[in-house]
Structure 1
Amino acid sequence: MTSLPRAAGAERMDEPGQDPAELGRSLVDLQHVNRWLGGYRVVLHHLGRLVARHPRPEYRVLDVATGSADIPLKVAAWARSRGIRMRIVATDNHPVTLDFARRHASGDADVRVEAADALHLPYEDGAFDFAICSTALHHFDARADLLRVLGELRRVARIGGIVNDLRRSRPAYVGARLLAATFWRAHPVTAHDGPLSVRRAFTPAELDDLARAAALPCARVHRHEPFRVALVWEREG
């Protein structure tokens, strides 16, 4: 058990009326977090393992709550460098974030940005090979919503999926507070949301419990340093 209890509370980047310029700065800050604190590395590591066990020349991938679509762009480039193709649908339900993602991904033909609610994905069962959700599961507070999101990811993914998120701990919280007071101090959305995101995030044991409750097949939780955790599931056969 952790001595840092999970907190509830709304993050400013989720507010429908958020200032576009401030939200854009926060999305860029999140790109930096993904680059320097393991977000890209975690997704590509586990996706590479899934691809190795299910080889084919082309895959369909869903990225839920995509933010700026930075992870889909990394995935698409990574796949092309290995002679395979991943056609990625990057989704979000915040209109300003969607506009940002569409502009950011406009130069990559393998990434398409669409509006979608993580609680009610508008796709058929098994419509994708893989489903990915990065640094977004912690935005949901109610256990019923958390299980619904995981259930929707499971439903639309034919092979498996990856949930990549922050790992809640006191060191992670201290680090986020330090960033908020220094690099993010002029970015009010990030300065507010960064520490709160850590407080809303999960421990490995909590993610394992959610995976079992959501009946994710062959699910495993992986710790990644310094402050990341990945929930990976995979259908047999």
Structure 2
Amino acid sequence: MKEPLADTLELSEADKEEQYVHAVYNEIATHFSDTRFKPWPVIERYLRALPIGSLGADVGCGNGKYLGVRTGDIFMMGTDRSESLVDICQQRSYECLVSDGLDLPYREGAFDFAISIAVIHHFSSEERRRAAIKELLRIIRPGGTVLVFVWALEQNGRRKFSESTQDVLVPWVIPAGSKNQPTGEDRIYHRYYHLFREGELPALFEQVGGCAIEEVGYDRDNWYVTARKEL
């Protein structure tokens, strides 16, 4: 499931993410969206437990799967770095805009909660991953919560990774003969991931500070953390 990162060693962190994350998701957006439709239970539980009237941000919202979990009694805004995925969200009438997760277009304390699902593992250095968590905490009010999911190095499902490296390129295949690739051969794209070891995600929250970790868990080959911003 992984490719060597030798050809990325000369790239800057931002260029690596541009080539192996941003550009890829713009290319695969429609096919990717077709595979993302059912909310994961832990995330749905978190969203359904929020008080009526809560205002939240989905940072790295993809096709808007979680923006539609509670449309009647809470309000969510989405951001994603992929213009193509934001287009899909807007076609579904979700409030969504293009934005980098390291520089969100929101004032400090604007939201009651924020989620970031399968996003922070795409940042290519510890400093940038820490900055992404800091930005999530910046945009929520004191007492608000954030929920973050990242891919785990320790995989129990169909994906298996070597313990020798946490930084991998993971292929995304659009099969020949599918509606997204009706002719020719399979199209293969490679996405950069940093695979998180057990304890690594809560350690980043502790390094950022200003919050209390309320829950740490493992679900669907992901580590997740729920944290509350200090009053």
> What is the rounded CA distance, in whole Å, between the counterparts of 2:174 and 2:24 in structure 1?
22
Q: Aligned runs of 1:78-227 on 2, under 5 Å?
A: 80=72, 85-103=73-91, 105-106=92-93, 111-158=94-141, 159-172=144-157, 174=159, 185-186=175-176, 192-193=190-191, 197=193, 200-227=194-221
Q: Percent same amino acid at aligned positions?
A: 19
Deviations 1:121-153 (A, max 9, x none): 111111010011011110101111111111110
Contact 1:216–1:233 (CA<8 Å) still a contact in 2?
no
CA separation of 1:40 and 1:154: change in aligned 2, threshold 3 A: same
> What is the rounded CA distance, in whole Å, between the counterparts of 2:187 and 2:203 in structure 1?
31
CA separation of 1:220 and 1:175: change in aligned 2, threshold 3 A: same
* SS of structure 1 residue aligned to 2:95: strand
> What is the rounded CA distance, in whole Å, between the counterparts of 1:216 and 1:207 in structure 2?
15
Aligned match of 2:165: none
Deviation at 1:168?
2.1
The TM-score, its normalising length taken from structure 2, stands at 0.72
For residue 148 of structure 1, what is the amino acid of its counterpart?
Answer: A
* SS of structure 2 residue aligned to 1:97: helix
The TM-score, its normalising length taken from structure 1, stands at 0.71
CA separation of 1:23 and 1:127: change in aligned 2, threshold 3 A: same
Question: Higher relative contact order by CA 8 Å / sep ≥ 6: 1 or 2?
Answer: 1
The runs of 4+ residues in structure 1 deviating greater than 6 Å are none
The structure with the greater share of residues assigned to strand is: 2
Deviation at 1:60?
0.7
Unaligned residue ranges in structure 1 (runs of 5+): 1-6
The CA RMSD over aligned residues, in Å, is 3.3
Contact 1:42–1:230 (CA<8 Å) still a contact in 2?
no
CA separation of 1:157 and 1:25: change in aligned 2, threshold 3 A: same
Match of 2:229 among 222, 231, 235: 235
Deviations 1:106-134 (A, max 9, x none): 1xxxx411222210111111101001101
* Count of paired positions: 200
Deviation at 1:202?
1.3
* SS of structure 2 residue aligned to 1:114: strand
Contact 1:204–1:223 (CA<8 Å) still a contact in 2?
no
* SS of structure 1 residue aligned to 2:66: helix
Unaligned residue ranges in structure 2 (runs of 5+): 9-15, 162-169
> What is the rounded CA distance, in whole Å, between the counterparts of 1:155 and 1:191 in structure 2?
33
Aligned match of 1:23: 29
Deviation at 1:161?
0.8
